[in-house]
A and B are shown apart, each in its own frame.
Chain A
């Protein structure tokens, strides 16, 4: 290999650069995120379950939201029936955010922790502050 010195230095600089997120976070203690379910609407619910069981929602809510997005805005489907036959209107603002009116304590709690941006609120309207607890 020619210029092995330069190449090795180059690789070292590159590795140092791409591993930046790892060593910058060494020793940083971050609290475990705890999304808050305590909103007035949820408190008043008889069956305290989302449109799918919590563990499924936790893992795949983006797939559901993506599907709802297409159903509502491209296919005009507004009715969602859960497995236990409860009916919901397909709408992020009017259904999801009706219960989860505390987006900072609910959505952002985890999203800030895993550093994944939420683009939803660039257009969708965040519920009024008063309804948050």
Chain B
């Protein structure tokens, strides 16, 4: 029979282990050293994207999606319920459900709109993530995924009001047509999404979708009043997806 003293001893040891673990973790975290060298990278305080949907036709859409999905080793699962999508198309009234109404222009209803992660300035996915596997980069506001850390609770997918996040329901490798050796794949059981091509931005190259969009998509610094994107936003009427939710999406659509 366990006496009270023994029982408390066991309980105490378990509690001490918990505290010890937390202390070790903060010790490990302190290790990273950073350089201030900013050569070669594209710099912005707040990245944003402008999409002129009038300039994009079916071929463009296919080319844009392929460029993104092939560069990022996005798997093509058989079951559409498990689809992994970084950038894809939705009909206008799906992408902008609040615009649905009796008298909306017919050509709009089924107009395919390119949708992707909105790189929100106030992202609910980051707020809910219990491990900071998804985080907002201080430097330029990019909302990114650390696949090393994600444990696949999928809270971010419930939190994202744009359906921009996908989960690897299976091992993705067999479903990648041609693996790009310059970018990692993912493992089963982690969440992924559009990364705004941070790996290109950090090496001075614009995102892949923008590169192949023939000028229909533009990225730039929303915090710089003189940037190309700010000039475009001044000159054109644009809308954002579900701005009423307070997420501050940074992708602007000219319809």
Contact = CB atoms under 8 A, between A and B. Distances in A.
Interface of A: 63, 66-67, 69-81, 89, 92-94, 122-125, 127-128
A64 B34 CA distance: 13
A122 B182 contact: no
A72 B182 CA distance: 14
B202 interface: yes
Interface in B16-50: 31-35, 37, 39-41
B181 A93 contact: yes
A81 B32 contact: no
Interface string B130-143: 00000101011010
Nearest to A97: B181
B5 to A, nearest CB: 17
Contact of B31 (A63, A74, A94, A122): A63
B53 interface: no
Report the interface size class on chain B: 20 to 34
Contacts of B41: 76, 78
26 contacts: A67-B31, A67-B32, A70-B32, A71-B32, A72-B199, A73-B144, A74-B137, A75-B32, A76-B139, A76-B140, A76-B198, A76-B202, A80-B35, A89-B203, A92-B184, A93-B183, A122-B187, A123-B185, A123-B186, A123-B187, A125-B179, A125-B180, A125-B181, A125-B185, A127-B181, A128-B181
B181 A75 contact: no
B146 A74 contact: yes
Contact of B182 (A67, A76, A79, A93): A93
Contacts of B184: 92-93, 123-125
Nearest to A69: B148
A79 B31 contact: no
Contacts of A92: 184
Contacts of B162: none
Interface in B179-207: 179-187, 198-199, 201-203
Q: Could you say which of A63, A75, A81 has the most chain B C-beta atoms within 10 Å of its C-beta?
A: A75
B191 to A, nearest CB: 13
